Structure 1
């Protein structure tokens, strides 16, 4: 027998090891295949996982399965309409599983026992229907866990001790639940985000969280301390009341004094009552409540020594003193500042908006940006007329629009017998809004957010109900912290979860606006303290459609719907596709525009029936499944 040389023996040994490794890999893949098939068996509505085949040699090409070195490393089943009970014991048999994401599905019941998969690094269960208290030891032993997203469920009770004590925690989101009690302290060195907004937490924010963004604590009425307002003792409350009474008496004395002075200032005791409710320029529900004080535009200490800068040619000029002499009326007080209607002597009425959250904008850059906005001209944009610059505050001046905002027509209390907007008008408004947004995309290509604050209170309507977009293009000049706290684009899924913006973020805002117009429901998540079942409008619409396809999804005040239900359904689908949680699957503005342009006031065929006697909208099963074969978890 021929004797082998040492290098030949080494090669043979290496080959044997490769064979053994390959055999082990095949065995591992086969084992993981059966494990995932077992896990699938615990799910309902799992038709989307049709390529999960027990005869497959490896699961690495299956829907939602990501592998690393031949083993399952990530299970990502977002927005697939799945339900049932999560079989965590099966997932514990996957040795390299590190990421589990099931956001935007229909899972319900108590918090799954994620601690059985002890090596997980990231867990995302956002926008499901999990409920009840999370066990205090629910995350015990998960020392590798860094990312936990449980927002927009129905959890109650306190933050579990085991969750607060995770040693490597980086991001935690519990926003939009019903949790409460005292907030435990978080001492992790790498901690970046703890979002507890829109819950029922109370007491003082602990030291470890005081450097967080204040938006992470909004919507908890009884929270106090940095970064929110200071906590007040009962003694302080009494003191503040006394100070308030004294201040009120002093203010009354000052007003009485000024009533006898003959100056060219605005008379703060003018006999003009402020608008109630939304007002023509109301900022929508809570952030549009009318300020019950008259405008404070009095000239003090050289505050208004500068000049108005007009950015539109062909306009009749006026100066700052003309504004100060004009009779003024408070229109509203929103997240950026107050708005006033000023009736100029012998001229048109204008709206003056005061911005205090632009003090980081330099004069040269501000002038350049305002002139750029002033050069924009489109039938669906409200033109900027002039501006005034001062370090501490800025004034933006535009024409007054008599017919008010879209928000006021959708949500303000109407007089008895006053009809709501009909289907044809709502479709006209959506088309105009989309065209105006498309123009902004074209003319402001360098901005990732050409609008940035698109919502119903920033859509004004002229006498013919032609929509006019306002508050557009302001992201570059608004202070960053304030923008992130109040502007609509910063409430998008991509910013909420990843602190990023894309060219599709304004499309998400358009999608929410479409849903608001067609359902008549206000997206309460725009509010600083908005909460409740309708806080996430897209999720609410999706749940109504999936659970019971009824006319409940459409605004009962919408007239002229006969023979138009099919087109309404198409618009509803457009809205859902525009606010798709996954940015990659979200429609582009161009695609949305094309679909909106195809809509008509009336159906073109007999495919859809009309409203039944009880207000139900019946449609073919095929159309319903086609229209909502996607999932949105906003």
Structure 2
């Protein structure tokens, strides 16, 4: 709604039934309002505003019912409040795109639906209780170390994990007496108290300036899910400037709906990444997935419509169907079918609390190969029919059949964003020469195979860019050169199935051949697909083949 100014908590306290508050994608500014005064609040959405400054350590104290906290894309700094980490009901935390500093506090919760600290200034070891979180949740924080990242922590380096002013205080401890330090800390506490009182009085003084028309409008719409509103903020803005009234549907299967239908539907935030946010919305016809994209201004409106309609014509078991799209000047919405079993990444890296056995993993990679082949058959004129193939973009339906998503978007994404974030940019030829080829998708397929077999997360996806940490394919090849057995690289969850190790090793060979740095030596997707489809769940001769050496590769 392009609202600006500050949030008056006193006014919100007049709403006794307020449990969810959302002002996503507006221009509100100032320090963090005292939302802790609204003890009944269960969801707080402040993403993409202009809030700034330090959030007090007790900023969330007493909010025992709070489940969802979305503070992304603001200007918050200082430590992550300890009171936030202590919330007993917390399920979703999204703090990406701020300037939070220091170490990550020990969160009371151990299993989150959403956990995103991407692109902050956090340093130090990741708490043990958060070691099971998807590694991509920590990208863009160069000072972090420890599991689940590939960067180990070095002992006795505590000063490196502190904020600059904390390092200064530690250095002073070597030269100043304890009494002087106590005085300094007392003075600092007094200053912070005065600043807090100043802002508190300032906010109370603004009470009389609240726009009554806005309050009335808020009350009249208080029954509408604020989470659903956040999905349509971009669409609402686009509607004003472009005159577009509804979604453009690319499928005629009786599931059509309009903006108002989506606005009224209950919604759940599934995640937030480098492209935008993803939501699950419950429509009368069933659940759908809505993806918001902010980096799609590479082509004009007519070209965008033509490309989306072309994607919408895809029909394949292993392709997640595009249902509809919404065109806005600044942001676009893509609507897909919903996959019941989440993403492959969630299962491989423990977020779903389940393990995938060998027959299921083989079924998944065969389906991925078939889906990729179908994309190349339908888009023979494009260098990268997928371009962003990775485990989090492979979703699983009820029977664990894989379905590719976020395919075919390179043509409409901003070139700079493609080079920085898309998986195709991690291949050697793109990293060095910025010239993707037909074998670039094959590289991504190879990385996916290695990830599926080893259970390890690719370091390049965690960094969202180039860097010096060891890559997955480099690690596998190093072990192969030294002479190895299957147990050295294969996920231990798979090795319990003794009569399939030979087939696992064959798949590993295919993955390594797809990850050759030389384009001449790299296997292309056609050959990879044929070899993958030839694999079986068990070895024909019953041998485990665990003694295969690197020479046979």
The TM-score, its normalising length taken from structure 1, stands at 0.52
CA distance in 2, matches of 1:356, 1:264: 28
Quick check: 1:481 aligned with 2:416? yes
CA distance in 2, matches of 1:248, 1:548: 68
CA distance in 1, matches of 2:530, 2:500: 19
Q: Is the 8 A contact 1:295 1:329 kept in 2?
A: no
Alignment-derived partner of residue 598 in structure 1 = 534
CA distance in 2, matches of 1:598, 1:248: 68
Quick check: 1:557 aligned with 2:496? no
CA distance in 2, matches of 1:326, 1:393: 21
Quick check: 1:324 aligned with 2:263? yes
Q: Is the 8 A contact 2:426 2:465 kept in 1?
A: no
CA distance in 2, matches of 1:265, 1:480: 41
More off after superposition, 402-411 vs 314-323: 314-323
1:579-627 deviations in Å (ceiling 9; x for gaps): 1110111011111111111111111125535xxxxxxxxx34xx42343
Summarize the Cα distance change of 1:258–1:396 in structure 2 as closer, same or farther, 3 Å threshold: farther
CA distance in 1, matches of 2:403, 2:323: 14
| Higher RCO (C-alpha under 8 Å, 6+ residues apart) | 2
Among 503, 526, 536, which residue is 2:471 paired with? 536
Among 516, 523, 536, which residue is 2:451 paired with? 516
Summarize the Cα distance change of 1:530–1:560 in structure 2 as closer, same or farther, 3 Å threshold: farther
CA distance in 1, matches of 2:503, 2:203: 56
Among 310, 328, 332, which residue is 2:249 paired with? 310
Query: What is the number of equivalent residue pairs in this alignment?
Result: 361
SS of the residue corresponding to residue 602 of structure 1 reads: coil
Quick check: 1:407 aligned with 2:345? yes
Quick check: 1:387 aligned with 2:325? yes
Among 257, 261, 276, which residue is 2:219 paired with? 261
Summarize the Cα distance change of 1:349–1:305 in structure 2 as closer, same or farther, 3 Å threshold: farther
Alignment-derived partner of residue 518 in structure 2 = 582
Summarize the Cα distance change of 1:261–1:544 in structure 2 as closer, same or farther, 3 Å threshold: same
SS of the residue corresponding to residue 504 of structure 1 reads: helix
CA distance in 1, matches of 2:500, 2:469: 26
Quick check: 1:372 aligned with 2:307? no
Quick check: 1:457 aligned with 2:457? no
Alignment-derived partner of residue 76 in structure 1 = none
Among 321, 341, 346, which residue is 2:280 paired with? 341
Among 433, 437, 442, which residue is 2:377 paired with? 442
CA distance in 2, matches of 1:542, 1:356: 38
The TM-score, its normalising length taken from structure 2, stands at 0.59
Summarize the Cα distance change of 1:315–1:558 in structure 2 as closer, same or farther, 3 Å threshold: farther
SS of the residue corresponding to residue 395 of structure 1 reads: strand
Q: Displacement, 1:557?
A: 2.2
Q: Is the 8 A contact 1:451 1:474 kept in 2?
A: yes
Q: Is the 8 A contact 1:545 1:553 kept in 2?
A: no
CA distance in 1, matches of 2:203, 2:448: 41
SS of the residue corresponding to residue 251 of structure 2 reads: coil
SS of the residue corresponding to residue 379 of structure 1 reads: coil
Alignment-derived partner of residue 625 in structure 1 = 550
TM-align CA RMSD? 3.7
Q: Is the 8 A contact 1:295 1:330 kept in 2?
A: no
Summarize the Cα distance change of 1:546–1:381 in structure 2 as closer, same or farther, 3 Å threshold: same
SS of the residue corresponding to residue 296 of structure 2 reads: coil
SS of the residue corresponding to residue 370 of structure 1 reads: helix
Alignment-derived partner of residue 9 in structure 2 = none
CA distance in 1, matches of 2:471, 2:525: 22
Between Structure 1 and Structure 2, which shows a larger proportion of helix residues?
A: 2
CA distance in 1, matches of 2:226, 2:372: 38
Summarize the Cα distance change of 1:315–1:304 in structure 2 as closer, same or farther, 3 Å threshold: farther
Instruction: Return 5+ residue gaps in structure 1 as ranges.
Output: 1-199, 203-216, 223-231, 271-292, 610-618, 629-634
Q: Is the 8 A contact 1:410 1:520 kept in 2?
A: yes
Among 497, 502, 519, which residue is 2:437 paired with? 502
Among 335, 349, 355, which residue is 1:420 paired with? 355
